[in-house]
Amino acid sequence: MNNEPARTFVLIAIIVTILVYLHFLPQVSLAGTQLRDVDILSDLLPEIDGDAGGDVIAKPVVPAAPVVTEKAKGNAKNTSVKKKPCPPGTTCVIDYSGGGAHGMAAFYKALANVQKMNRPVRVAYWGDSFIESDIMTTDLRALFQEKFGGNGVGWVDCGKTTNSARPTVRVATSGFTSHSVMERKSFNASKQGISQRYFTVEGSAYMTLSGTMWNKHCGSWGTSSIYFKTSTPVSITATMNDGAQKTFSAEASSGVQSVTVAGQMTKVKWTVSGANASTLFYGTALDPQQGVVVDNFAMRGSSGISLAGIPENTMKEMSEKRPYDLLVLQFGLNATSPRSTQKQMQNYVAQMTKVIDMLKRCYPNTAILIVSMSDRDQRVGGQIKTMKGVEELVSYQQLLAADNKVAFFNMFEAMGGNGGISKMAQKGMAGKDYTHINFKGGAYVAKKLFDGIMAGK
């Protein structure tokens, strides 16, 4: 007897049962990335604003944007005049520094002197998976380089990481073992560098970096450097454009070291020999000799608070070897969820304050910019809208900037506010996870950020 209809009915019943069961599961994260809810009942049940009996998160009172003035030129009385207002349609950077050391003025001064400096103007950009693979930062870098000169993609990790699969530079490597802050069981925090990674070598290793045609600024560069620590002498050789070579003999030292080669390059190979377990490599750099470069320090799954664990002596030594003119922090995707409480957000601000304090000590004269969490949407009651907790965290991040007297940029607003990323997804600029943008979306928001920064210059 053919019992096919009965088997089909049983299979459908099992699938429906599983989907109903998923409705009652808590939110799940995988490798630091929160997975989208699967809820077959979302169109049948009324919308619930957070957990039953849970906290209602009140947005903090954010200080108003300060009235920015500048000294009138040629005025003997040094009368202050109000700077031009934010252009219509632009999300402008808000500088809460009050003219302090970590306000945007330091960065604008560096840009004004870009042709007089004996190094490029540098931007360090820390973030989560939103900027992974050089998304958004490649376009921000290109915009600065188009206006102020320069080429090259800046920082490139040694060895294979999730951030090394980037179309802006081709990387071939062997012999470098990667250690990341997200690998909590095996990671030695005291060894980490500026990217929250370190790379070990047993004996010898090499890394070949080649330019790409992703944009016209990615194909070549003027200098290349490699950054490391070693307690034993090592030999490091740079081969430029498959031709000229230069070998460096690095002596044992407890501090951060770097070696650099200069010249127009489209390809460079770094070869290491004589290393042992005490030798730590942090990364390489492909920089212009003048102009602007933006370093991408993406860490998938990070909320940003682990940056406070980078050893201060390492950061201070890096600041001498590789000085920056602007430090950017963009986090939030891994710092909130629909079940976040006000206490959790307040604790997050307290932890991020420790990060800012550390950066201020290591970079005492460098501008600091907090870029808010981007929009993140979810399907609720059959509609796609901004996830509960996003707007509240953005307000807390603005308060973080104000309390610490640094600058702030509202990425959530720049993306269109509530439901912004779903609109971007409809235009092919973001994924249907309504969390991450793609390179097309990266170009869009990079222009928003660039315009917001330049409006204050």
pLDDT in tens, 98-121: 999 999 999 999 999 999 999 999
> What CA–CA distance (Å, rounded) separates 411 from 444?
12
> What CA–CA distance (Å, rounded) separates 268 from 288?
14
Taking residues 404-432, what's their average pLDDT?
A: 96
Q: What is the dihedral of CA 185, 307, 60, 388, to 10 degrees?
A: -50
pLDDT in the model for residue 15 = 75
Residue 223 has which token pair?
């200098």
Instruction: Return the CATH number of the domain spanning residue range 86-149+291-456.
Output: 3.40.50.1110
pLDDT in the model for residue 195 = 97
Residue 2 has which token pair?
């053919």
Say if residue 87 is exposed, middle or buried (CB neighbours under 10 Å; 0-12, 13-18, 19+).
exposed
Say which CATH class 151-289 falls into. mainly beta
pLDDT in the model for residue 45 = 39
> What CA–CA distance (Å, rounded) separates 105 from 142?
22
**Percentage of the residues of the chain whose pLDDT score is greater than 90:** 75
pLDDT in tens, 59-103: 887 777 776 555 544 444 444 344 668 999 999 999 999 999 999
pLDDT at 21 over 90: no
Q: pTM of the predicted model, to two decimals?
A: 0.86
pLDDT at 5 over 80: no
Report yes or no: 429 and 441 within 8 Å, Cβ to Cβ: yes
Residue 221 has which token pair?
């560069």
pLDDT in tens, 246-271: 999 999 999 999 999 999 999 999 99
Judge whether 86-149+291-456 and 151-289 match in fold: no
Contacts of 158 (CB under 8 A, 6+ apart): 173, 176, 178, 199, 207, 226, 281, 282, 283, 284
pLDDT in the model for residue 336 = 92
DSSP 4-27: HHHHHHHHHHHHHHHHHHHHTSPP
Give the Å distances, CA to CA, from 39 to 51, 216, 379, 434: 16, 45, 9, 16
Domain ranges within the chain, ordered by starting residue: 86-149+291-456, 151-289
